[in-house]
Structure 1
Amino acid sequence: MSTEHIIEQAANWLTRLHDEHVTDADRRAFDTWCQADPRHALAIERMRGLWGSLDTLPAKPARIALNRAFAPRRPRGAQVAGLLGVLLCGWFGLDHLPVWMADQRTGVGERRQIALEDGSRLQLNSNSAVDVKFDGHQRVIELLQGELWVDVAKDAQRPFMVRTDQGTATALGTRYLVKRAEDGTTIVTVIESTVAVKGDSNAGVKVTAGQRSILEHGRAQAPQALGNSDPDAWTRGLLKVNDQPLGDVLQALASYRHGLLRFDAPALQDLRVSGVFKLDDTSAALAALADNLPIQVEYFTDLLVVVKPR
């Protein structure tokens, strides 16, 4: 069943449960539906998480808007529930529904460690989402958004694979990173041992410790050496850069901040940065950059920061 269909069913159930005519039979049927598929209960949980935000809307304007779409005299709870599915599809878009329904996800600026049932360990970077699909034959992590670090437990019977829409990264050892970049590519970086990286349209490559491969247009590029970079520094709450363009550093910091961090990349293209910054305090990182580079950082609000040449 598609995610969109589950969202629609969940919204219908919440509408039904908050109707004044709900029966015990309805509640029993709802319990059966929740138990039929883990995604059903997850959809209800996520919708209830949004409930409070929607139900704090001013009553009079909300009722006027709702009554245009629903029959009059229905309880406000039922009206709010009935709109949740529409709001999710409209505000988040169909492409974002799998992320909203992901098994595990992090918010902006959040990192999370996850222990898997096989003994493997994941860590999700800021604003990331995964689905975990284990069965008797394979272990698959669907990376829906963002970046993950994985330390794979040995299991001779079940290969361990991270999958994106560009291809797969199958562990032949232990620790590696997989990132869905904003340009649509997938970046696989190996910290220890070897990973088999395969696109949809080529035979794939083997990437060893200290190398990375980029999956683009369904093809795995030849491995490249990492040099002096420290790609998993974020798992320790750090951003380490060595002679990197300022624009790249600002983009990395922006992914850990709520709101907007704006900058004119061409105007800053000649400035390069080396240093170590704490990801849990991006304002301190911006202040350090302003102290050491000919730039100024302007805070219009906590949610809008502009960096420009001094």
Structure 2
Amino acid sequence: MNNVKTFSSKQDIHKQACEWISRFDRGLSEGEDQAFSDWVNLSSFHRQSLFSVAQTWDELSVLNELSSLFPLRDNHVRNTKISLNRKVMGIAASVIFVIVSSFAWLTHPEFMTGTVDPSIVALNAETSVGEQRVISLADGSVIHLNTDSLVSINFSDALRNVHLLRGEAHFEVAHDETRPFIVKAATNTVTAVGTAFNVQLTNAEQFELLVTDGKVLVKNKTDDLAKVSIDNRSQTLDGSGELMIAGQKALISQQAIQPVTLTQQQVQNDLAWQQGMLVFHGEPLADALQEISRYTLVNFKLADQQVRQQRVAGYFKAGDIQGLLFALENNFNIVYSKTDKQTIVLSTGK
């Protein structure tokens, strides 16, 4: 009997990881299920390589599709060996373990002992111009990313931290009093235990916050995050933070926060982007185009001040440039011309 085994080099393992990600993306065949199980269990380096490749290729869809199989707060996973069953359940367990838990092995030495908490997650998620994405997290929370957005997610056993680095996102936070859900944006943080809210970065120093359910606490992000608490008092940023409740909207910066209360219809209009729609209520065309431009690579130019100040209202499908031009021409007497494939000039019709 030949007991000699051939060991793969690091370069070979990395190449194999690339091949497995490619196969998983298109869907594993029945014959590949067990082969994937055998390969991913060969060594921790195999798992680390697969995680590295998945992160490089931005294969977060794997985690998004399978995260529902996570227990919300398992006490511990006592065996670092992946035990696969059959077909989908087996592959799901392996890929979740690789993508989520292997990051913990890389950053927390204590995880090499064989005790892994599946609620610990570290990953980035990004959308391109015109793209939207829904991310289901291991704790049951859901992030809805709008166009051209980027978030960095880092869950520990004490805190659930998310950093909105670009764009806009709506957060539906699973209730967990032991681990506050903290979103960093610009120079402040928004903290929730179980609630829903929308955050849109307007520039490097401020963001727009809309609370759609429950309540959140806004703090300067230089404060001690571990001491966050929520009560029924409205406080200032110099103290424990500013409390905002469902239906309130505010532009958040280092200055004082002045929230306004919206009607239910206004809240729905602000969240219309989740259904791929944009709603305007008489804004100047220049302002409306600034919002529309977030969803397209087309560059709009306004011929004069008159067309810039033309007020527009209505429902527009995000990214539907032809539909927008048709509506502007037929409803607002605004004509267009194209100087090239990516540039459209708008002017007042005669």
After TM superposition, the score normalised by the length of structure 1 is 0.66
Q: Which of 186, 195, 215 is the matching residue for 2:216? A: 195
Contact 2:296 / 2:319 at 8 angstroms: preserved in 1? no
Structure 1 residues 115, 288: closer, same or farther in 2, change over 3 A? same
Q: 1:43-62, CA deviations, whole angstroms, 9 ceiling, x for partnerless residues?
A: 6436xxxxxxxxxxxxxxxx
Q: 1:209 aligns with which of 246, 249, 267?
A: 246
Give, in angstroms, the shift of residue 135 of structure 1.
Answer: 1.1
Q: Does 1:244 align with 2:283?
A: yes
| Counterparts in 2 of 1:33 and 1:144: CA distance versus 1, 3 Å | farther
The structure that has the greater radius of gyration is: 2
% identical equivalent positions:
29
Distance 1:283 1:106, change over 3 A: same
Counterpart position of 1:288: 327
For residues 280-300 of structure 1, the C-alpha deviation after alignment (integer angstroms, 9 at most, x for no partner) is 423202320221113222223
Q: How does 1:257-296 map to 2 (within 5 A)?
A: 257-263=296-302, 266-296=305-335
- Judging changes above 3 Å, is the alpha-carbon distance between structure 1 residues 26 and 38 closer, same or farther for their aligned structure 2 residues? closer
| Residue from 222, 238, 241 that aligns with 2:258 | 222
CA distance in 1 between counterparts of 2:276 and 2:136 reads 19
Task: State the Cα deviation string for residues 103-128 of structure 1 (Å, max 9, x = none).
Answer: 11111111111111111111111000
Taking a change above 3 Å as real, the CA distance of residues 183 and 44 of structure 1, as seen in their structure-2 partners, is: closer
Shift in CA distance, 175/26, structure 1 to aligned 2, threshold 3 Å: closer
Distance (whole Å) between structure 2 residues aligned to residue 33 and residue 220 of structure 1: 50
CA RMSD of aligned residues (A): 2.9
In the other structure, the counterpart of 1:167 is 188
- Is residue 126 of structure 2 the alignment partner of residue 114 of structure 1? no
8 Å contact from structure 1 (residues 213, 220) kept in 2: no
- Aligned runs of 1:1-310 on 2, under 5 Å? 25=9, 27=11, 40-41=52-53, 44-45=56-57, 103-182=124-203, 184-200=205-221, 202-203=237-238, 204-216=241-253, 218-219=254-255, 221-226=257-262, 229=266, 230-263=269-302, 266-310=305-349
Assess if the C-alpha contact under 8 Å between 1:172 and 1:193 holds in 2: no
Matched length: 233
CA deviation profile, 1:1-48 (whole Å, cap 9, x unmatched) = xxxxxxxxxxxxxxxxxxxxxxx64526968888669985456436xx
**CA distance, structure 2, for counterparts of residue 259 and residue 156 of structure 1:** 45
Residue ranges of structure 2 left out of the alignment (5+ in a row): 1-7, 18-43, 59-122, 223-236
Kindly indicate whether the alpha-carbon contact (under 8 Å) linking 1:175 and 1:192 is maintained by their aligned counterparts in 2.
yes
Q: What is the CA-CA distance between 1:225 and the residue it aligns to? A: 2.7
Whether the aligned pair in 1 keeps the contact of 2:307 and 2:346 (CA below 8 Å) is no
Alpha-carbon distance change, 154 to 173 in structure 1, aligned in 2, over 3 angstroms: closer
Distance 1:303 1:222, change over 3 A: same
1:253-280 alpha-carbon deviations (Å, 9 max, x no partner)? 1111123222358433432222111114
Letter in 2 for 1:241: F
Distance in 1 between residues matched to 2:218 and 2:316, nearest whole Å? 31
The residue type equivalent to 2:346 in the other structure is V
Gaps of 5+ in 1: 1-23, 47-101
Q: Is contact 1:185–1:215 with CA below 8 Å preserved after alignment?
A: yes
The one-letter amino acid paired with 1:268 is: V
Q: Distance in 2 between matches of 1:143 and 1:297?
A: 36
CA contact (8 A) 1:188 1:213 kept: yes
Task: Confirm or deny: 8 A CA contact 1:213 1:224 kept in the other structure.
Answer: yes
- CA gap of 1:170–1:289, structure 2 versus 1, over 3 A, is same
